[in-house]
Amino acid sequence: MFEPLKHKVMRRWITSLAILLLGTVALHLARPAATAATPSKKQYPVRGIDVSHYNKIKNFDALSKQIDFIFLRSSLGLKRDTTFNTLYKKAVKADIPVGAYHYFRFDVDGEAQANNFLRSIKGKKFEFPLVIDVEQHGNSTKVSTKTINARLKAMVNTVEKSGYKIIFYTNKHGYKTYIQPHYPDYPLWICSFTDPPINAKWVFWQYSHTGSLNGCKGKIDLDTFNGSKKQFKKMFPKQKRK
């Protein structure tokens, strides 16, 4: 039997709507996740970068004219970053305030990680407290939160017993899961691609994974300080290295 005309029209309309909705969903899912925010240069005039062996810095003199600080990865888990010593020497020579960070592995003993971090920076001076990078990205997914917290506490205790202060680098999930419940008063370096970055007090903000600067080959992480240049210099005075 022939289907009534109004039923055919209705079926076509429903089919067209379904195709449109599926296309919209597919487009949304295919859209890459945000990798950068745009903090106000007037509100946040102090700018910097953080690097590891993945980055290629070709000209530190050119770089020094564009940034106010640099953080270098010195270690990760029980390993060392192969470019740390070279980058440190070049940053110091270019008179760029420098800091060091350690990528915290969820599946490695915390005290052992702390000792590796401390050995990797031995003999060097920094303008900033030591940074512990706590994040799920690239980390083990087979370790319980309880174990992660215990290992992080062991690392923190070992680093602090050596006389160093600590800054935590993390994202919003890492902050709520590992930092806020146990270290709410510690300085925070937050990774966020939204403005404002987080509903919490922060010192540094990593606002981009896709930055571009003269002297650097390829994309680079961009950061800013939560304050004026005068506040930055007062909080993190330059170190004498000679």
SS3 3: coil
**Distance in angstroms (rounded) separating the CA atoms of residues 190 and 51:** 16
Q: Report long-range pairs for 227-233 (Cβ below 8 Å, ≥24 apart).
A: 227/46, 228/45, 228/46, 229/45, 229/46, 229/68, 232/46, 232/68, 232/69
**Structural contact between residues 109 and 147, judged by C-beta atoms closer than 8 angstroms:** no
Provide the pLDDT for residue 35.
Answer: 81
In this prediction, the residues of the chain whose per-residue pLDDT falls under 50 are 1-3, 5, 17-32
Provide the pLDDT for residue 59.
Answer: 95
Residue 146 sits at φ, ψ, to 5 deg, of -60, -45
Provide the pLDDT for residue 10.
Answer: 54
**Distance in angstroms (rounded) separating the CA atoms of residues 14 and 71:** 55
Rounded to 5°, the CA angle 158-164-165 comes to 105
Q: How many other CB atoms are found less than 10 A from the CB of residue 28?
A: 8
**Structural contact between residues 149 and 103, judged by C-beta atoms closer than 8 angstroms:** no
Amino acid at 73: R
Q: How many other CB atoms are found less than 10 A from the CB of residue 123?
A: 5
**Structural contact between residues 134 and 168, judged by C-beta atoms closer than 8 angstroms:** yes
Provide the pLDDT for residue 55.
Answer: 95
- Which pTM value belongs to this model? 0.86
Provide the pLDDT for residue 32.
Answer: 43
**Distance in angstroms (rounded) separating the CA atoms of residues 132 and 187:** 11
Q: What is the CA radius of gyration of the chain?
A: 23
